[in-house]
Structure 1
Amino acid sequence: MPSKIEIVALMGRENNPLFVEVYGPSSQSISSRDPKSLRYHFLAHISLDIFVAKLPQKTTDSDFGLLYVQDDIAMYGWMTNTGVKIVLGFASGDVVGNDIKSIFRAIQHAYISLVCNPFYNLDERKMITSKKFENSIKRIVEAWNGIPQA
Structure 2
Amino acid sequence: MSTTTTSQINTNPITHQPPPNNPIQFISLISRNDKPLYIQAFNIGNTTPMNHTNADKFLKYNFLSHMALDIFTSPSSLSLREQQQQQQQQQDTHQNGDQIPVILLFIQDQVMVYGYETNNGLKIVIGLDQTRNFNDNGNGNHQNSLTKLRKLFLDVQKCYLRTIFNPLNQIYINSGTGISLNDDDDGDDSILQSPTFDRNIKKLVNSYI
Q: Is TM more than 0.5 here? A: yes
SS class of match (1:40): helix
Q: How does 1:77-116 map to 2 (within 5 A)?
A: 77-93=115-131, 94-95=133-134, 96-116=145-165
Q: How many residues were matched structurally?
A: 140
What CA distance in whole angstroms lies between the structure 1 residues aligned with 2:196 and 2:206? 15
**Relative contact order: is structure 1 or structure 2 higher (C-alpha 8 Å, sep ≥ 6)?**
1
Q: Aligned partner of 1:30: which letter?
A: T
2:106 aligns with 68
Q: Which residue of 170, 195, 204 corresponds with 1:131? A: 195
| RMSD of Structure 2 on Structure 1 (CA) | 2.5
Q: Which residue of 60, 67, 82 corresponds with 1:39? A: 60
What CA distance in whole angstroms lies between the structure 1 residues aligned with 2:102 and 2:67? 14
What CA distance in whole angstroms lies between the structure 1 residues aligned with 2:114 and 2:126? 5
Larger Cα-atom Rg: 2
Unaligned stretches of 5+ in structure 2?
Answer: 1-20, 49-53, 86-99, 135-144, 174-180
Question: Does 2:66 correspond to 1:49?
Answer: no
Q: Aligned partner of 1:29: which letter?
A: N
Structure 1 residues 9-44: Cα deviation after superposition (integer angstroms, max 9, x where no partner): 0011111111101012x2x1337xx86422211110
> How far apart are residue 3 of structure 1 and its match?
5.9
SS class of match (1:29): coil
If the length of structure 1 is used for normalisation, what is the TM-score?
A: 0.80
Q: Aligned partner of 1:19: which letter?
A: Y
Identity of aligned residues (%): 28
Q: Which residue of 28, 33, 47 corresponds with 1:30? A: 47
Task: Determine if contact 1:51/1:64 at 8 Å carries over to the other structure.
Answer: no
Q: Aligned partner of 1:110: which letter?
A: C
Question: Does 2:25 correspond to 1:6?
Answer: yes
What CA distance in whole angstroms lies between the structure 2 residues aligned with 1:3 and 1:23? 9
Structure 1 residues 79-103: Cα deviation after superposition (integer angstroms, max 9, x where no partner): 1111110000000113452321100
Looking at secondary structure, tell me which structure has more helix per residue.
2
Task: Determine if contact 1:11/1:19 at 8 Å carries over to the other structure.
Answer: yes
Looking at secondary structure, tell me which structure has more strand per residue.
1
Task: Determine if contact 2:32/2:123 at 8 Å carries over to the other structure.
Answer: yes
Question: Does 2:205 correspond to 1:141?
Answer: yes
Unaligned stretches of 5+ in structure 1?
Answer: none
SS class of match (1:21): strand
What CA distance in whole angstroms lies between the structure 1 residues aligned with 2:64 and 2:36? 12
